[in-house]
Chains A and B, each alone.
Chain A
Amino acid sequence: QQQVKQSPQSLIVQKGGISIINCAYENTAFDYFPWYQQFPGKGPALLIAIRPDVSEKKEGRFTISFNKSAKQFSLHIMDSQPGDSATYFCAASVGNDYKLSFGAGTTVTVRA
């Protein structure tokens, strides 16, 4: 049973649009929430991460929103570009081991 539930499974957005991916968790001990980006044939790479003491973190066009009471967090990709077409994974971990529990992934396709 996956500890982190991710939706949607896939989405298509027009160039310049906003992509939104949602994740939910049950384990309130989770204290680290990263998002990874993966291109076909490659390993995942860290995109952005947040800890539960902040509600939002922004890096360029990528923003994480975190709702501790709802046990949900989401990734917003603003001004989506064709180069953003990839699979995105949310994840969570407890403590300093960083043994990540991943969501199932969302394939994002940005149409030019």
Chain B
Amino acid sequence: NAGVTQTPKFQVLKTGQSMTLQCAQDMNHNSMYWYRQDPGMGLRLIYYSASEGTTDKGEVPNGYNVSRLNKREFSLRLESAAPSQTSVYFCASSELLAGEQFFGPGTRLTVL
């Protein structure tokens, strides 16, 4: 039981490049989330998915797109990376209507 897994662990991009961050969970959770963590800002919600096929914007969605591929997987795409997107990205999942979110280990992204 791996919980929430994220790939890659580290990534360096140049401005304008695109990439997809992958997230998968094996806990049969319905809800999945993408957050970014920046120093002094805590974690901020980028996108949320209540179930397969549904997504909803969070606090900071600009510059990102998401895909809920199936119940297990929720990917985050940066179409044209900007230095302001340098951050640590966390994926999380939870049971529907339950408060506890289980976080992955994070992806540290640097955009030059």
> Which positions in A face B, CB cutoff 8 Å?
2, 4, 6, 9, 32, 34, 41-46, 49, 89, 91, 93, 96-105
Contact = CB atoms under 8 A, between A and B. Distances in A.
Given A89-B43, A99-B58, A49 B103 contact: no
Contacts, number: 65
B40 interface: yes
Contacts of A89: 42-43
B105 A98 contact: no
A87 to B, nearest CB: 9
B24 interface: no
> How big is the B interface, by class?
20 to 34
A104 B105 contact: no
Contact of B105 (A6, A9, A43): A43
B11 to A, nearest CB: 16
A97 B41 contact: no
B31 A98 contact: yes
20 contacts: A6-B42, A9-B40, A41-B105, A43-B103, A43-B104, A43-B105, A44-B103, A45-B102, A46-B100, A96-B96, A96-B97, A97-B31, A98-B98, A98-B101, A100-B33, A100-B43, A100-B101, A102-B35, A104-B40, A105-B42
